Amino acid sequence: MDQFPGSVRQPRPSHRLIDRMAASLEVVARSRNGLTLTEIAQATGSPLSTVQNIANGLVSSGFLEEHSKRYYLGMAPYVLNLMAGRRVVSGVSHEDLEELRKVTGLTALLGVGVGDSQYYVDYSSTEAEYAYFSEALVRGPLIQSSAGFILMADMEKRDVWTYLHSLPPSDDWRIRRYFDLLPGMIETGVCIAPGVTDEPADGVAVAIREGGRTVASVSLAGPKDVIAERKDELAEFLRKRFVVPASPSR
């Protein structure tokens, strides 16, 4: 008796576009220094025009990131792993966040950017709201937090401008605030109390950089008056705790 249905023995049909997307993601993931479009096309045996279209779609969805015309694995695969219960972002441990909270008395958050959104993927806090944002992996707008600002500061200019252009007029003042703070963020790798959240809170965020690019953020968050009073102290503390080379100009 055949113990397997006939359909099980049939090979699963492949899809050329999906195959090319998967191949592109794999060759980029195996590269430590990123790949150009031409290198991806050569490695996957795909037409350059096809690779360009695939790369644009993967960048817009957060599966790839583009920096100086080189492509790197984005944060979307990591966030999917988190949704499946697998912890990632090796450069900052949960113990690091616990230490930050104990030393400063403030909420400590680890954030990553996925496309035009940001997620808090780990935290140490006594505040239920931050626990919810992190544990439920709530998608947040980049334009409304210090973590989002510092992540945007190292994104490709065209991606940032496309995102900013998509925002409603009600965010115009936040856009102006971003450009006001941008030179300082590029120079120091720290975003100090941008005051752009709708909540009665604010934060100071530092870029976590690997391989010359920002891969995550660590932020200290608390009531606006507390952050305003301690912002310089907190910025210096984060600078010393996380060695932050200056970001390249965008």
Q: Where in the chain is the domain with CATH 3.30.450.40?
A: 77-241
10-residue stretch averages of pLDDT, the chain, 250 residues long: 47 82 93 93 95 95 92 90 74 92 96 89 90 85 96 91 94 97 95 93 93 89 95 94 59
CA distance 220 to 100: 8
77-241 belongs to CATH 3.30.450.40: yes
CA diameter of the chain: 77
pTM check: above 0.75: yes
Cβ of 92: how many Cβ atoms within 10 Å? 19
Q: List Cα–Cα distances, 114 to 74, 78, 79, 140, 159, in angstroms.
A: 7, 9, 8, 10, 12
pLDDT for 107-157, tens place per residue?
999 999 988 889 998 999 988 888 888 888 788 999 999 999 999 999 988
Instruction: Outline where the chain has alpha helix (H).
Output: 6-9, 16-30, 37-44, 48-60, 76-83, 94-104, 128-135, 146-152, 157-166, 172-188, 224-241
Burial class (CB in 10 A: 0-12, 13-18, 19+), 142: buried
CA distance 201 to 205: 13
13-73 belongs to CATH 3.40.50.1000: no
pLDDT at residue number 243: 64
Contact 62, 25 (CB under 8 A): no
Q: What is the torsional sign of CA 224, 226, 229, 231?
A: negative
Q: Where in the chain is the domain with CATH 1.10.10.10?
A: 13-73
